Chain A
Amino acid sequence: MSSPIITVENLSKRYVIGHKVASTDGLRHVLDGAIRNPVRWLTDKRRRAKEAREEFWALKDVSFAIEQGEVVGIIGRNGAGKSTLLKVLSRITEPTSGRIHGKGRIASLLEVGTGFHQELTGRENIFLNGAILGMTRAEIKSKFDEIVAFSEIERFIDTPVKRYSSGMYVRLAFAVAAHLEPEILVIDEVLAVGDAAFQRKCMGRMEEVARHGRTVLFVSHNMAAIGRLCSKGLVLQQGRLSHFGSTTSAIAFYHSTLQLNGNRLGEDAGHVLYSCEPSSVESQFAITRIELLDGQKRPAGAFHTMDPATFRIHYTAPRPVSRAAVSFSVSSVDGSRLLLLSTQPDGAMELNFSRGPGVVDLSFPEMPLAAGVFTIGAGLAIPNVEWLCWTPELCQLNVLPRDVYASGLAPSSSRCLLALTHNWELPIDSNTLKASRETTAR
Chain B
Amino acid sequence: MNEFVIEAGRVGRQYWRDLWRYRELFYFLAWRDFLVRYKQTVVGVAWSLIRPLLTMLILTLVFGQIGKLPNAGVPYPLLVFCGILPWQFFSTALSESGNSLVSNGNLVSKVYFPRLIVPASSVLASFVDFLISAVFLALLMIWYRFPPPPNVVFLPLFVAFAFAASFGAGLWVASLMVKYRDFRFIVPFIVQFGLYISPVGFVSAVFPERWRLVYSLNPMVGVVDGFRWCLLGGDHTLYWPGLFLSVAVALLLIVGGIAHFRATERVLADVI
Contact = CB atoms under 8 A, between A and B. Distances in A.
Given A99-B6, A136-B24, A114 B106 contact: yes
Contacts of A127: 28
B136 to A, nearest CB: 26
B111 A103 contact: no
Nearest to A8: B6
Contact of B2 (A91, A104, A134): A104
B4 A108 contact: no
Interface stretch (A20-28, A36-44, A302-310): A20-28
Given A95-B8, A120-B36, A90 B107 contact: no
Interface in B246-272: 266-267, 269-270
User: Which has the most chain A C-beta neighbours within 10 Å: B1, B22, B112?
Assistant: B112
Given A100-B7, A119-B36, A132-B25, A110 B110 contact: yes
Contacts of B7: 95, 98-100
A183 interface: yes
B6 A88 contact: yes
A92 B111 contact: yes
Given A114-B106, A128-B32, A131-B25, A92 B2 contact: no
A331 B181 CA distance: 49
B8 A103 contact: no
Given A90-B111, A114-B111, A136-B24, A97 B8 contact: yes
B68 interface: no
A93 B6 CA distance: 10
A27 B182 contact: yes
A215 to B, nearest CB: 12
A111 B105 CA distance: 13
Interface in A111-156: 111, 114-115, 117, 119-120, 124, 127-128, 131-134, 136-137
A30 B22 CA distance: 36
B179 interface: yes
B9 interface: yes
B24 A101 contact: no
A94 B266 contact: yes
B238 to A, nearest CB: 38
B4 A102 contact: yes
Given A87-B269, A102-B3, A183-B1, A108 B8 contact: no
A254 B113 CA distance: 34
Interface string B23-59: 0110011001001100110000000000000000000
B11 interface: yes
Which secondary structure dominates where chain B touches chain A? Answer: mixed
B65 interface: no
Interface string B85-125: 00000000000000000001011111111000000000000
B39 A119 contact: yes
A128 B28 contact: yes
A175 interface: no
Interface in A161-210: 183
B189 interface: no
A30 B112 CA distance: 31
B206 interface: no
Interface residues of B, number: 36
A100 B5 contact: yes
A92 B8 contact: no
Given A26-B180, A87-B269, A101 B110 contact: no
Given A110-B110, A115-B107, A120-B32, A100 B6 contact: yes
A414 interface: no
Contacts of B109: 92
A95 B6 contact: yes
A339 B25 CA distance: 50
A42 to B, nearest CB: 19
B35 A132 contact: no
- Among A15, A104, A119, A137: residue with most chain B CB under 10 A: A119
Contacts of A105: 2
Contacts of B1: 103-104, 183
A89 interface: yes
A103 B3 CA distance: 4
B203 to A, nearest CB: 36
Interface string B182-208: 100000000000000000000000000
Interface in A391-431: none
A290 interface: no
A61 to B, nearest CB: 14
Contacts of A381: none
Contacts of A322: none
A71 to B, nearest CB: 19
Contacts of A110: 110-111
Contacts of B29: 128
B106 A115 contact: yes
A422 B266 CA distance: 64
Scoring A90, A106, A115 by chain B CB atoms within 10 A of each residue's CB, the highest score goes to A115
A244 to B, nearest CB: 19
A27 B6 CA distance: 33
A106 B6 CA distance: 12
Given A28-B182, A94-B9, A132 B36 contact: no
A92 B36 CA distance: 26
A96 interface: yes
B183 to A, nearest CB: 8
Contacts of A103: 1-4
B180 A27 contact: yes
A93 B28 contact: no
A91 B6 contact: yes
Contacts of A137: 24
Contacts of A132: 25, 28, 107, 111, 113
B28 A131 contact: yes
Contacts of B269: 87, 92-93
29 contacts: A25-B179, A27-B182, A91-B6, A92-B110, A93-B270, A94-B9, A95-B6, A95-B8, A97-B8, A98-B7, A101-B3, A101-B4, A102-B5, A102-B6, A103-B1, A104-B2, A108-B110, A108-B111, A115-B104, A115-B106, A117-B36, A119-B40, A128-B28, A128-B29, A128-B32, A131-B24, A131-B28, A132-B111, A183-B1
Given A97-B8, A98-B7, A131-B25, 9 more contacts: A28-B182, A89-B6, A92-B110, A94-B266, A108-B112, A115-B104, A119-B40, A124-B35, A128-B32
- CB-based closest 6 A-B pairs: A91-B112, A100-B6, A27-B180, A131-B28, A27-B182, A93-B269
